[in-house]
Amino acid sequence: MQKQQDHHRIHIESSENERESWGLPEEVTSVEEMVRLYREGKISEDEFRRFRLQHGMYGSRLNKDYTMVRIKVPAGILYPDQLIRLAKLCEDFSIGSVHVTTRQNIQMHWVYLDDAPAVEKGLVEVGLTSREACGNTVRNVVCSPFAGICRNEPFDVTPYAKALARFFLRNPMCQNLPRKFKFNFACCDEHSYARIADVGLVPVVREEEVSDGNASRKVRGFRVYIGGGLGPASYLAELLEDFTPEDMLLPTCMAVIRLFDRLGDREKVHRNRMRYLVHDMGFERFRELVLKERRIVLMTRSVLANLYIREDKVDAPHTDDIDLVELKPFNAPDGFHRWVKSNVMDQKQKGYAIVFIPLPAGDVTARQLRALASICREFSHEGCVVTTPYQGFALRWVMKSRLVELYKRLSETGLANYGALSIASVVGCTSTTSCNLAITNAHRLAKEIRSRLIELGLDMDDALRDSTIKISGCPNSCGQHMIATIGFFGAAVRMNNTLTPAYNMLLGGKVGKESALGRIVARVPAKRIIDVILRLIDVYRKERLDGEGFASWIDRVLEGNGTNIKSVDDLKPIIEEASKLPSPEEDPESYVDYGSDSRFIVKTARGECAA
Amino acid sequence: MMKARRRMYPVLVEPEELLNISSKDVVLIDVRKEEDYIHGHIPDAVSLPLARVLESMDPKQLHRLFRSVGVDDASKYAIVYDDTFGALAARVAWALEYIGHERVSLLSITYGRWVSLGYAVEKGRGKGKGIEQISTVDDNDDTGIDISADYDILATYDYIQAIIEGIKQLQQGKETNINSSSSSNSSIKKGDGDGKVLLDVRERLNYLDHHIPYAMNIPWKAFAGEDRILKSVDEINSLLSYRKISRSDEVIVYCGSVGTLSGLSYYALRLAGYTRVRLYARSLKEWRSLNLPVEGFKNAHYWDLSAE
Ligand code: HEM
Ligand code: SF4
């Protein structure tokens, strides 16, 4: 391994795909110890909760004996042996499937609390950890699944994402922040989730003159966005400065965390994310403080505070390029073209593709995980899979010439579902399936919408490709409803004198360079949501301009520039009409939530997001 | 009080050991369907499909059945295998123990694994003829020996009902000094049930949905190895110790059907040195058919998390 140090404090190493190991064996022992002490009544509920959250364990819905274990997967990268281990662990200690989350974590639900040490042990053995996946810590460092293969990216940010994750994991400076803290790395503006994190990073390269004035060199750096985040009140992050060179990446991040640690609100649990701090003092003022803090960090920084950037080399042989649109193999099985259209994209590297594996609301079985492990070994030249913010997997570095073969293999275990990069890829948080704060079953609703849209072939409609649907079971936004073209969050509403599961509907959210948060436009009973969505698509098809996508049309209407349906006010009656419920006597089903066979009631318990 | 049992014979026999045993007293029993047996089996195995064993719980009849495949006296050493995680083999091995036959072991791997490891197989009917005759065995032909069942390894529904009653009473006694917000499944920990533990080994979602009152849940897969039908003794022991189930406890295992997956779990406990284990052989299938009480957790839509 060769180490090379430039004049700045950043180390670039090139490694032969040496694997990160995030877990620590000692932590198995401490989990074991703490669970035992708690069960024996020797430590308090509060003390145990703090420990538990710091080690990735959330309470399960209305049942203290079970925990959810969130596995932190920096940049979403998982290796085949890790997939196999996850399969075994979820069969042994969870429900036989795992959940892939919007922040690239893996979650195991309904784990019996006393089994947590066994799960932890299993994770650590394959280099995984649940440490700092929850609690008031630096949460999983999210990285675009396109990083390294994206056509628009100036360079691969993956090594930087992993380096930051490594630096902050178990770092004493962020073990007890006022609140959780999130980093998101983008590959480019188009695929950017940078503006919905506490710190979002978009890579850029700048030409800089070298001291003698004649030559110039390219400097890697970032556009750093600060103070964003989704929740009951959501904000988009703002740009710190035009260009932050890579050697300033760590000092900048450290400065932001130190400021938050010092100034953040530790009292009002519902307003203590950094975005509130930024919002309350004003971004300009916060910006100045960050820049000042960064100077202090630079002056006082220990020599140990370094980012080790390890660039992995992908061993991919040269192969002829194939145009995906032209790809019409004579032996193509049924559904192949539809799958290619919505699930496969070109990489910047010729001849290779990224293949998306969408999962219904992020759920994947042990059997599928095992199949994915062997498929990954056979088909991905990078030898790992990556989780996506759409609650699915992606397989990168697949030779386009082998797509038919891959499609067949994925189909065998139900992993070749259509619609990955389409409106049918609906996100739904875990909600009443396991979360204490949930009002409605957003998880099942997401699955229902998805299968209906696919049944109707809407994944094939290019005009809908710019659009997304995302659902949360309460205002907390874990399902990212604020950044969806059509977003929903759960509510309980009295209709026809009956308490009814319902959703607030938002329109116009989006990520990327033009990030925007959705606007609440209506309230819709759970059982009418599919109809309302289809109705909206109908209206759009009548109203659209030439070549105008669904999301663009929504924006135009939100701006009040619609054609016949001029503004949201014109849209509202249409939505209301489609939302109407028959009386409870006529149709009791309409008043019952998805996944339930009994009367709708709201039951919640203490959420631990702020613990 | 049930007596503690020590095993004379190991729970598991390794394939290499099997190949090296040269005693003519060994009876290797293949419990898969007969057609699978004919298609290919481990050399010298006899065929005794699980279904035949499930036909009766009558010790005499079971004795006759096993005798027909060659386990005809106490000196015979039965080694059982299947291709269903070891669960069918376990249920058959348990039946042998139940009729008092102590010399029985499970092959540590499934038939599928045996084949994939490249060990020899044999095709055709082989020694499987035996069972064709059982139906014709004369009822009076009991060769004079006394066959009585070992009821210490069996749990019946009324036995379980009595345990439930016992726990209820114990809890009522304690009710005064604990705030009983904890759900039932944490209450059955050692001590609470007078050292008796009801263990449901079905998958977690089925258990959450409904289970025998006071039962705790360890899915059977938690006992199963990746390539072997059971995990190592250490792994099983650490699992059980996390759950505070100790060797002095009496553990009653059940599953959703006829004691197969719970049979495998029965042997996991025996392998780990637990000597007081009972199998509720008729399991939930019977419990439900008798409309006996079950309890479950209704406050979450956990089924919708399943990707099946
Ligand atoms: C007030 C409390 C909470 C707030 C404000 C909150 C907020 C969020 C937000 C904004 C995200 C999206 C992350 C992102 O991409 O930026 C998220 C993710 C997530 N949160 Fe929460 N959360 C809270 C409590 C909880 C609780 C109690 C649970 C359940 C145990 C939970 C489960 C999740 C899950 C599962 C995800 C990943 C989404 C998915 O893919 O399912 N959260 N949370
Ligand atoms: S959005 Fe609400 S219901 Fe959904 S997981 Fe988050 S806290 Fe729970």
Which ligand 2 atom lies nearest to the CA of residue A477?
A: 1
Fold of B12-150: Oxidized Rhodanese; domain 1 (3.40.250)
Say yes or no: B234 contacts chain A, CB-CB below 8 A: no
How confident is the model over A62-66, as a mean pLDDT? Answer: 91
Q: What is the mean pLDDT of chain A?
A: 93
pLDDT at A5 over 50: no
Contact state of A434 with B302 under an 8 Å Cβ cutoff: yes
The region of weakest confidence among A253-257, A307-311, A606-610, B258-262 is A606-610
Tokens standing for residue A336: 């192949």
Strand A97-100 with A106-112, pairing: antiparallel
Matching residue, tokens 């009951």: A232
Note the pLDDT tens digit of each residue in B49-105: 999 999 999 999 999 999 999 998 889 999 999 999 999 999 999 999 999 999 999
Which ligand 1 atom lies nearest to the CA of residue A102?
A: 40
Long-range contact set of residues A587-591: C-beta below 8 Å, sequence gap at least 24: A589/A527, A590/A500, A590/A525, A590/A527, A590/A528, A591/A495, A591/A498, A591/A499, A591/A500, A591/A501, A591/A525, A591/A527
What DSSP designation does A548 have? Answer: -
DSSP string, A92-147: HHSSSEEEE-TTS-EEEEEEEGGGHHHHHHHHHHTT-B-TTSSSSSB---EE-TTT
- For residue A100, give the ligand nearest its CA: 1
pTM score, whole prediction: 0.93
Q: Which residues contact residue A217 at a Cβ distance below 8 angstroms, ignoring those fewer than 6 apart?
A: A207, A208, A210
Tokens standing for residue A447: 């699955």
Of B222, B301, B307, the CB nearest to A596: B301
Q: Which regions of chain B carry the CATH code 3.40.250.10?
A: 12-150, 154-307
Chain A to chain B, count of Cβ pairs less than 8 Å apart? Answer: 106
Which ligand 1 atom lies nearest to the CA of residue A232?
A: 5
pLDDT of residue A89: 98
Say if residues A458 and A423 touch (Cβ distance below 8 Å). Answer: yes
Say if residues A39 and A114 touch (Cβ distance below 8 Å). Answer: yes
pLDDT of residue A611: 47
Using DSSP, state whether A345 is helix, strand or coil.
Answer: strand
Residue B106 CA to residue B11 CA, distance in Å, equals 6
Using DSSP, state whether A181 is helix, strand or coil.
Answer: strand
State the distance from the centre of ligand 2 to the C-alpha of B43, rounded, in angstroms: 58
Pocket of ligand 1 (CB under 6 A): A 58, 68, 101-103, 107, 182, 196, 230-231, 362, 391, 429-430, 435-437, 476-478, 480, 607-609
- For residue A107, give the ligand nearest its CA: 1
The alpha carbon of residue B22 and the mean position of all alpha carbons in its chain are separated, in whole angstroms, by 28
Using DSSP, state whether A15 is helix, strand or coil.
Answer: strand
Sign of CA dihedral A128, A134, A136, A139: positive
Nearest-CA residue of chain B relative to A605?
Answer: B299
Nearest-CA residue of chain B relative to A92?
Answer: B222
State the distance from the centre of ligand 1 to the C-alpha of A118, rounded, in angstroms: 25
Tokens standing for residue B271: 């392998």
Q: Integer distance in angstroms from the first to the last C-alpha of chain A? A: 42
pLDDT of residue B6: 65
Q: Which CATH architecture has domain A139-310?
A: 2-Layer Sandwich (3.30)
DSSP H or E run through A22: none
Which range is most confident: A271-275, A291-295, B146-150?
Answer: A291-295
Matching residue, tokens 């994190």: A197
Contact state of A97 with B221 under an 8 Å Cβ cutoff: no
Same fold, A25-125 and A139-310: no
State the distance from the centre of ligand 2 to the C-alpha of A223, rounded, in angstroms: 30
Best of A35, A66, A95, A120 to substitute, by most chain B Cβ atoms within 10 angstroms, is: A95
Scanning B237-266 for CB atoms below 8 A from A yields 238-239, 242-244
pLDDT of residue A325: 83
Note the pLDDT tens digit of each residue in A385-441: 999 999 999 999 999 999 999 999 999 999 999 999 999 999 999 999 999 999 999
Strand B216-217 with B250-254, pairing: unpaired
Amino acid at A194: A
With CA atoms as reference, report the closest residue to B266 among B234, B220, B298, B299: B220
Q: What percent of chain A has pLDDT over 90?
A: 84
User: What residue spans define the domains of chain A?
Assistant: 25-125, 139-310, 336-412, 427-591
With CA atoms as reference, report the closest residue to A118 among A22, A25, A28: A28
Is the CB–ligand 2 distance for residue A429 below 6 Å? yes
Beta bridge pairs of residue A5: A11
Note the pLDDT tens digit of each residue in A509-553: 999 888 999 999 999 999 999 999 999 999 999 999 999 999 999
pLDDT of residue B127: 62
Ligand 1: residue whose CA is nearest its atom 37: A101
pLDDT of residue A6: 40
State the distance from the centre of ligand 1 to the C-alpha of A440, rounded, in angstroms: 15
Residue B268 CA to residue B85 CA, distance in Å, equals 12
pLDDT at A4 over 50: no
Of B183, B226, B244, the CB nearest to A88: B226
pLDDT at A266 over 80: yes
pLDDT of residue A12: 59
How confident is the model over A62-67, as a mean pLDDT? Answer: 92
Please tell me the CATH code under which domain A427-591 is placed. Answer: 3.30.413.10
pLDDT at A11 over 70: no
Say if residues B279 and B266 touch (Cβ distance below 8 Å). Answer: yes
Fold of A25-125: Sulfite Reductase Hemoprotein; domain 2 (3.90.480)
Fold of A336-412: Alpha-Beta Plaits (3.30.70)
Nearest-CA residue of chain A relative to B243?
Answer: A114
Say if residues B31 and B82 touch (Cβ distance below 8 Å). Answer: yes
State the distance from the centre of ligand 2 to the C-alpha of A407, rounded, in angstroms: 34
pLDDT of residue A216: 87
Scanning B197-226 for CB atoms below 8 A from A yields 203-205, 208, 217, 219, 221-222, 226
How confident is the model over A198-209, as a mean pLDDT? Answer: 94
pLDDT of residue A17: 55
Segments of chain B with pLDDT less than 70: 1-6, 127-146, 175-193
Which residues of chain A lie closer than 8 angstroms to B197, CB-CB? Answer: none
pLDDT of residue A311: 83
Which residues of chain A lie closer than 8 angstroms to B306, CB-CB? Answer: 95-97, 363, 365
Residue B166 CA to residue B185 CA, distance in Å, equals 15
Higher pLDDT, B146 or A157: A157
pLDDT of residue B186: 43
The alpha carbon of residue A109 and the mean position of all alpha carbons in its chain are separated, in whole angstroms, by 18
Which ligand 2 atom lies nearest to the CA of residue A474?
A: 2
Ligand 2: residue whose CA is nearest its atom 2: A474
Higher pLDDT, A452 or A59: A452
Q: State residue B18 phi and psi, 5-degree precision.
A: -60, -45
- For residue A61, give the ligand nearest its CA: 1
Q: Which CATH architecture has domain B154-307?
A: 3-Layer(aba) Sandwich (3.40)
pLDDT of residue B146: 67
Note the pLDDT tens digit of each residue in A219-245: 999 999 999 999 989 999 999 999 999
Q: Which residues contact residue B140 at a Cβ distance below 8 angstroms, ignoring those fewer than 6 apart?
A: none
State the distance from the centre of ligand 2 to the C-alpha of A268, rounded, in angstroms: 19
Is the CB–ligand 2 distance for residue A437 below 6 Å? yes
Cα B84 to Cα A91, A448, B47, distances in angstroms: 16, 34, 15
pLDDT of residue A610: 53
Give the minimum alpha-carbon distance from B219 to chain A in angstroms, rounded to a whole number: 6
